[in-house]
């Protein structure tokens, strides 16, 4: 680490080490607490340690608006005990006092027995014997991230909030067994409202206390690393909760933007999200957010980030009521928030110089050019962007179009429509597609039949048979053709039914739809196992053949008549037959490399709930096509071809074998 920091500009190093100065730190035999609050007329430190009476713990202000106080140890014992509650009491300009949670607090808790109770900051400095010490190094960066998106709190099959340690012991083995190489953890940063899915952050440096302590989260990440799984964090720097009592918004006391974390007026408020918007041009905001990134990577050994809500940051209009056509004036104009773009460049430059193998992903729906080009080239510096148009297309097909109206050309265009040399993480459905008001793809395909017709011991129901077949094909063609990485949300790998609905007043605070029914996939007498088996096989194929990150991609057939899509990715040949009834016993498929080909994955296999219509022992020998060196004379512009059996509503993958 010391070698890495020597190559960073000194100013950036100081900006990203804010947690070593602000909040609670140890300096010799003292606790030192510092807080940037230039709008405060006075400040006191209060908590359990002084019976919430701050009159003897007044803080001093420097010329930069930083308030501080030193608390010497008493006879060798910390003046503030580890685990005790703390707050800062701030005097406003009108001489009234308000209590706030320290902005740099590392842990915050709430009394779960009191409805709508306020949070309290917690002084977190466990003795050496109680601290978690990492045992395992970070895994190497994969050629293509195969990401399992997960929410720890809703990962239990029971209707309750799950813990970091339960997730580590019970869910991580499932993720590993399904061959994923990366986990993306949602809702880690503390958020007072559980139903916000973790996106209305109140305490940016604190782990969500609903699922455990900071040491528990470290245990989870270390266990993941022991299994060879990298861990990304869903980081929210695009906005902050308006909750002033529990969160950062409480430091906005009506002061001008240069003395606040947020912009003033309309520029500082997101009307759709009901959240506050950062003033990215402020040195103190940059210090806070850049330090936040380094804190999560240094303290918790995260392997990178997925930045939420990037579109809102990139433009003053936040992408609201916009339909981006690709015209560059939509991206580079007075509507572009240059300060936010510069912050993202700083953030990516920092993370990649700190950890060259870090993975940083942008959630952007606009298609902003250069988002995934290096900062050294003038790009924004992300490694990947989420291919957000893909799930929108599948939603349109599943909810609006009849199956016979699905266009093969439209599917191919959607899956391959990405900027040159700007890698994408493809996904067919994430948490967004399952939120209340929508349904998981499995439930859209099979609906109420999932309650009555999923027994594998009974003859298959036509609706369920169709649903499972299309579920496998949709997820697999998205992975195979949609990008340079792949993402799946927790439970969708086995066709989790229904939808996600967090406890709220409208559902009588029920956890019933805020959990994962793992036993559905575990039961041998249910058909969920078929989707889970196929997901495990397709992710394993990606790990074995490394085709997801391959730049070699050629679509040779997208027939609307046959409803067939055939393409090469890496060294494999893929055939998807979307026809509802037509099976093609002798379908000709083009390829580049001559030789013998055999099936390496078949969605129609019995273990995946198929009908076993394809013989896996057959060798498929290629034939030359056209004139050598003239692709246009070949079959579908390919110099070789071979014949395959292509059953309806199924997909097969072929690999070249030795002669």
d(CA 644, CA 622): 11
Contacts of residue 173, defined as CB under 8 A and 6 or more positions apart, other chains included, come to: 227
If residue 386 lies in a helix (H) or strand (E), which one and from where to where?
Answer: strand 384-386
Element (H, E) at 306: strand 304-307
Residue 442 has which token pair?
């499995």
User: Token digits for 491?
Assistant: 């439970």
| Structure tokens, 487 | 């993402």
Chain position carrying tokens 């956890």: 511
- Could you tell me where the DSSP H helices lie in 227-357? 283-300, 310-314, 338-354
- Residues near 323 by Cβ (< 8 Å), separated by ≥ 6? none
Q: What is the DSSP string of 99-144?
A: EE--TT-SBEE--TTSTTPPPEEE-----GGGS----SPPPPPPSS
What dihedral angle (degrees, nearest 10) is formed by the CA atoms of 35, 189, 141, 172? 140
With b meaning 16 or more CB within 10 Å and e meaning fewer, what string describes 155-165?
Answer: bbeeeebbbbb
- Give CA–CA dist 21/41, Å, rounded: 22
Question: Comparing C-alpha atoms, which of 382, 371, 612, 603 is closest to residue 480?
Answer: 603
Phi, psi of 546 (to 5 degrees): 50, 40
Tokens of 376: 């050294």
CA distance 532 to 518: 11
Q: Exposed, middle or buried by CB within 10 Å (0-12, 13-18, 19+), for 203?
A: buried
Tokens found for residue 141: 């960066």
CB 88 within 8 A of CB 102: yes
Which tokens is 399 given? 């909810």
Contacts of 389 (CB under 8 A, 6+ apart): 365, 414, 417
Cα–Cα nearest to 535, from 595, 576, 475: 475
Tell me the catalytic residues: 308, 363
Contact 208, 160 (CB under 8 A): no
CA nearest 555: which of 636, 626, 482, 623?
636
């Amino acid at each position: 680490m010391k070698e890495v920091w020597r190559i960073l500009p000194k100013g950036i190093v100081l900006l990203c080490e804010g947690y070593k100065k602000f909040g609670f730190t140890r300096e010799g035999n003292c606790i030192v607490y510092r807080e940037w609050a230039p709008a405060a007329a006075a400040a006191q430190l209060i908590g359990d340690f002084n019976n919430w009476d701050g009159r003897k713990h007044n803080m001093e202000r420097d010329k930069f608006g930083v308030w501080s106080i030193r608390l010497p140890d008493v006879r060798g014992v910390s003046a503030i005990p580890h685990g005790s509650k703390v707050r800062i009491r701030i005097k406003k300009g009108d001489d009234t006092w308000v209590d706030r949670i320290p902005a740099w607090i590392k842990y915050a808790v709430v009394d779960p027995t009191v409805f709508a109770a306020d949070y309290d900051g917690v002084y977190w400095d466990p003795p050496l014997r109680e601290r978690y010490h990492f045992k395992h190094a970070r895994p190497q960066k994969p050629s293509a991230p195969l990401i399992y998106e997960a929410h720890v709190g809703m990962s239990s099959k029971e209707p309750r909030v799950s813990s970091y340690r339960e997730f580590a012991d019970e869910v991580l083995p499932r993720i590993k067994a399904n061959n994923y190489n990366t986990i993306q953890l949602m809702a880690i940063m503390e958020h007072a409202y559980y139903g916000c899915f973790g996106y209305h952050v109140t305490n940016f440096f604190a782990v969500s206390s609903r699922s455990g302590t900071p040491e528990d989260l470290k245990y989870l990440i270390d266990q993941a690393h022991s299994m060879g799984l990298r861990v990304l964090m869903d980081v929210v720097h695009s906005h902050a909760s308006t909750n002033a009592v529990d969160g950062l918004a409480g430091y906005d006391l009506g002061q001008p933007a240069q003395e606040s974390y947020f912009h003033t007026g309309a520029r500082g408020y997101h009307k759709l999200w009901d959240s506050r918007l950062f003033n990215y041009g402020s040195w103190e905001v940059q210090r806070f957010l850049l330090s936040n990134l380094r804190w999560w990577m240094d303290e918790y050994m995260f392997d990178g980030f997925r930045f939420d809500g990037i579109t809102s940051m990139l433009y003053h209009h936040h992408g609201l009521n916009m339909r981006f056509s690709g015209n560059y004036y939509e991206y580079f104009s007075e509507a572009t928030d240059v300060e936010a773009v510069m912050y993202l460049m700083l953030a990516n430059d920092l993370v990649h110089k700190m950890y060259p193998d870090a993975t940083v992903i942008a959630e952007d729906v606009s298609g902003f050019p250069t988002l995934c080009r290096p900062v050294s080239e003038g790009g924004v510096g992300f490694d990947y962007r989420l291919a957000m148009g893909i799930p929108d297309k599948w939603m349109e097909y599943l909810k609006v179009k009849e199956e016979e109206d699905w266009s093969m050309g439209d599917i191919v265009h959607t899956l391959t429509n990405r900027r040159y040399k700007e890698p994408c993480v493809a996904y067919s459905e994430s948490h967004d597609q399952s939120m209340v008001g929508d349904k998981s793809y499995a439930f859209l395909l099979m609906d109420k039949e999932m309650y009555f017709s999923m027994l594998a011991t009974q003859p298959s129901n036509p609706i369920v048979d169709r649903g499972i077949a299309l579920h496998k094909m949709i997820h697999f063609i998205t992975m195979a053709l949609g990008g340079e990485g792949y993402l799946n949300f927790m439970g969708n790998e086995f066709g989790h039914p229904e939808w996600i609905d967090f406890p709220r007043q409208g559902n009588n605070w029920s956890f019933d739809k805020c959990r994962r029914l793992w036993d559905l996939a575990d039961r041998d007498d249910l058909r969920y196992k078929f989707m889970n088996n196929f997901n495990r096989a397709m992710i394993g194929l990606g790990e074995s053949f490394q085709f997801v990150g391959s730049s070699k991609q050629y679509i040779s057939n997208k027939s609307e008549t046959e409803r067939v899509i055939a393409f090469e990715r890496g060294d494999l040949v893929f055939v998807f037959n979307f026809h509802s009834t037509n099976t093609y016993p002798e379908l000709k498929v083009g390829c580049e490399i001559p030789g013998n080909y055999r099936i390496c994955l078949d969605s129609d296999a019995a273990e995946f709930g198929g009908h076993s219509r394809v013989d896996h022992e057959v060798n498929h020998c290629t034939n030359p096509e056209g004139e050598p060196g003239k692709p246009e004379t070949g079959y579908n512009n390919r110099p070789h071809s071979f014949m395959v059996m292509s059953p309806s509503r199924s997909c097969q993958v072929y690999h070249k074998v030795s002669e």
